[in-house]
Amino acid sequence: MAQAKKTERPDGRKLNETREMEAKVGIIKRADGSAMFRMGKTIAYAAVYGPRELFPGFMQNPEKGILRCNYDMMSFSVTERKRPGPSRRGVEISLVTKNALGPAVNLDQFANTVVDIFIIITQADAGTRCAGITAASMALADAGIPMKDLVSAVSVGKVNGRIALDLVKEEEDLDGTTDIPCAIMSRNNEITLLQLDGDISEAELIEAVELAKEGCHKIYEIQKEALKEKYKEIKNE
């Protein structure tokens, strides 16, 4: 009995189950596109501005527009106050987020411009880079940026020796946990982000990525529903 208890997840979820999710689009009126995505206690907001002319001019690409991304967590988003302002972690997550979204957007028609994405985490219980990518992808679509597909992201991992979907902080913090944030474009299953922190065998990694795909497909449906919902609201106004 004690053994069974040990392998249970802290919130009682099955190994292949995500946390409860919520998505909303068009929430920041002055942004060109915006969205909120919540996964359990992790909440991400994303705002998109552009395409707009990029200054200084030497940073412009005369062949296509560029993406720029800024990720940050609010000081009160975690139990132990996060120091405000830029951090190495913020710089890394901003970069991997930009790279995870890049393959989905087509800025060929927007030479010399920039599309800015701002992601802010208001509440964090692990998986914030994934929630940020999911929210930003909806915000890009809301801003009308030409896209190949939406990007959906979730973390998978090895917890207590078993492959599990959408880890919470308590699971991430356990000794020996392997955390694997993944982002996927669901239409062709193209992986745009795969990070790995910890140890895992090749067979387990394949199993974990398959589980991430399943989770991302579920998130994809929620993202599409949230985008449609915005237009339903406009029609009813």
Binding residues for ligand UDP, rule: CB under 6 A, are 78, 82, 89, 124-129, 169, 172, 181
- Are 170 and 179 in contact by the 8 Å Cβ rule? The answer is no
Q: Which of 146, 135, 156, 122 is nearest to 69 (CA)?
A: 135
Q: Rounded to an integer, what distance in angstroms lies between the CA atom of residue 26 and that of residue 140?
A: 11
Q: How far is the CB of 93 from ligand UDP (least distance, A)?
A: 7
Q: Which residue is nearest to ligand UDP (CB)?
A: 128
Q: Please state, as a whole number, how many other Cβ atoms lie within 10 Å of the Cβ of residue 16.
A: 14
- Residue 53 beta carbon to ligand UDP: minimum distance, rounded to whole angstroms: 32
d(CA 5, CA 54): 56
Distances (CA, A) of 64 to 35, 114, 138, 147, 212: 25, 9, 21, 14, 32
33/24 Cα distance (integer angstroms): 11
Closest distance to ligand UDP from the beta carbon of 229 (Å): 26
What is the smallest separation between the CB atom of 71 and ligand UDP, expressed in angstroms? 9
Shorter beta-carbon distance to ligand UDP: residue 42 or 223: 42
Q: What are phi and psi of 131, to 5 degrees?
A: -65, -40
Q: Which residue, 89 or 218, has its beta carbon nearer to ligand UDP? A: 89
Nearer to ligand UDP, 116 or 172 (CB): 172
Q: Taking the complex as a whole, how short is the minimal distance between the CB of residue 24 and ligand UDP, in angstroms? A: 20
Give the three-state DSSP class for 4.
helix
- CB closer to ligand UDP, 41 vs 224: 41
Between 100 and 107, whose beta carbon lies closer to ligand UDP? Answer: 100
Cα separation, 103 vs 2, whole angstroms: 47
CB-wise, 125 or 149, nearer to ligand UDP?
125
- Residue 236 CB, shortest distance to ligand UDP, in Å, is 36
